[in-house]
Amino acid sequence: MYEVRFYQGDYNDRQAKANEDQCIAYVEHHFNSSSNVEAGYSMVVTGANASQTSINWGRWYAGAVSRGLDVSLGGDRGVVVGGYNGLGDYNLRYTDMPAVLLEPLFASNPWHATRIRDENSQAQLAGILSESIQRFFPQGGVVGFSVGHKYKESNPNDRGASVYGGGTEADYAEIVLNKAKILLESVSEVQTKREVRVLQGTDLLWAHTIDADTSVTWDPVLGVLQLGSISG
Ligand SMILES: [Zn+2]
């Protein structure tokens, strides 16, 4: 259903190649960084000329990271259109398809950095990305991936920010994208029915299809997940 292609070279060349290949979606992966080590939130940048689909997709992804990895949500409900002072806009503005630049965690924040370097959290980020693409592009097709900073002809040694505790932004972004590629390319059909799932880490313990109109409530004190109202 999905084929993932990694694009390298300068950012405008990556986008031109993705347009040529008629990608259905384009993702550039970064990790954020700040001189304030306490700064830490999930956020997505879109181009200033982004479609509403890019913005909605970015909000869905940033929100899922915020809930799943228990970090705050940055930007306007998770999205900064046009990037901070234009930073990030150039990375996406020439794409013909919906495109997002991911900044799910902060490399400079010690607690976030632990997650960035942790294999289970990398798998979780890859899972959220893969699922966001299935939700927003259920028809399948070629998906373009771009590792932020790395493989630019203009600056071949750029690896982005240093990750607190060791490693670089670009190398960890590449690890997550590689995991997401494996997940996406193994999708044989997109889930079109509404499903409730129980996960342990990223392992699926239980899944159940429910009606689109069923209300779902979780009572953390009783430990009961109620599907539909008790009377109904
Ligand atoms: Zn970056």
Q: Cα of 113 to ligand 1 centre, how many Å?
A: 14
Number of H helices, E strands in the chain: 5, 13
Mean pLDDT of 20-24: 98
pLDDT tens-digit series, residues 83-124: 988 889 999 999 999 999 999 999 999 999 999 999 999 999
166 in the same domain as 127: yes
Q: What is the pLDDT of residue 62?
A: 98
- Sign, CA torsion 193/199/202/203: negative
Q: Cα of 169 to ligand 1 centre, how many Å?
A: 7
Residue 71 has pLDDT above 90, yes or no: yes
Q: Quick check: is 7 in a domain? A: yes
Q: Cα of 173 to ligand 1 centre, how many Å?
A: 9
Q: Cα of 28 to ligand 1 centre, how many Å?
A: 9
93 in the same domain as 33: yes
Residue 136 has pLDDT above 90, yes or no: yes
Residue 232 has pLDDT above 60, yes or no: no
Q: Quick check: is 190 in a domain? A: no
Domains: count for the chain: 2
43 in the same domain as 15: yes
The pTM of this model reads 0.93
* Residue-number span of the structural domain to which 106 is assigned: 2-185
Q: Cα of 2 to ligand 1 centre, how many Å?
A: 26
200 in the same domain as 178: no
